[in-house]
Amino acid sequence: MQEVPLPIYTAQDERVQRLEALVGRLIGDYSIGATFFGPLPGAPSAVSLRRTGAYYPSNALGMALTASTPGVTTANRLYAAPFYTPSVPNIADRIALIVTNAGGANARLGIYDSDRTLYPSHLLLDAGTVSTGSGGVKTKTIRQGLSRGLKWLVVVFSGTPTVRKADSGYENTWAPLGFDPATLFHYLGWYVAFSYAALPARYPTGGAATTWEPLLLLRFAV
């Protein structure tokens, strides 16, 4: 095995590095002097941990939602629920929702990217339709690579089924759109009027922030 030569530091180099480290301690910047030791190892954030083959809900950052009561949906309304995508795994193979009371007709599912204002931007995936004519978990098989960061899982209904939801009243619910101190409501996501059809290339403008969203699920393959 060929030996890798270690870097050679002179006595002067060592004194300089020690002084840099001391300055870093004084000003609270501990990155100064790190070149002497090399880069420190990193670790993934807890919110980015995902297990392949498991479902993960929207409006949750690795925390268990305390409840998921049913909510009656509105037809021709495009709901958008936030979902944080990790660096790995990042290929989604299922998207789903949970119907608790059939409302007839269908639901169309998809994924949008996010802009810097935390508003859904361009379409990443139109996953197609699932029937909401009966209760249960409604799943679509997909194959979609996603970059790390905020994405929006969306659904539009042609009927009015009752589905499991994320609500501002639940503990551990991720509410990235802020808090209203007057009403004490947290804002979880968006909705906008949209006649049931194939998903548009860009999420329509003029959406309203909402205090509850249909609970949407994503599963990762790799």
CB 106 within 8 A of CB 132: yes
Statement: residue 79 has pLDDT above 50:
yes
Whole-angstrom distance between the N-terminal and C-terminal Cα of the chain?
35
* Rg of the chain taking only CA atoms, in angstroms: 23
pLDDT at position 146: 94
Q: Give the tens place of pLDDT for each residue, 47-60.
A: 667 888 999 999 98
Q: Tell me how far apart the alpha carbons of residues 194 and 52 are, in angstroms, rounded to a whole number.
A: 33
pLDDT for 168: 85
Q: Write down the mean pLDDT value for the chain.
A: 85
Torsion from C-alpha of 165, 167, 145, 195, nearest 10 degrees: 60
Give the global pTM: 0.79
Q: Which amino acid appears at position 6 of this protein?
A: L
Q: What residue spans define the domains of the chain?
A: 9-42, 50-220
64, pLDDT greater than 80: no
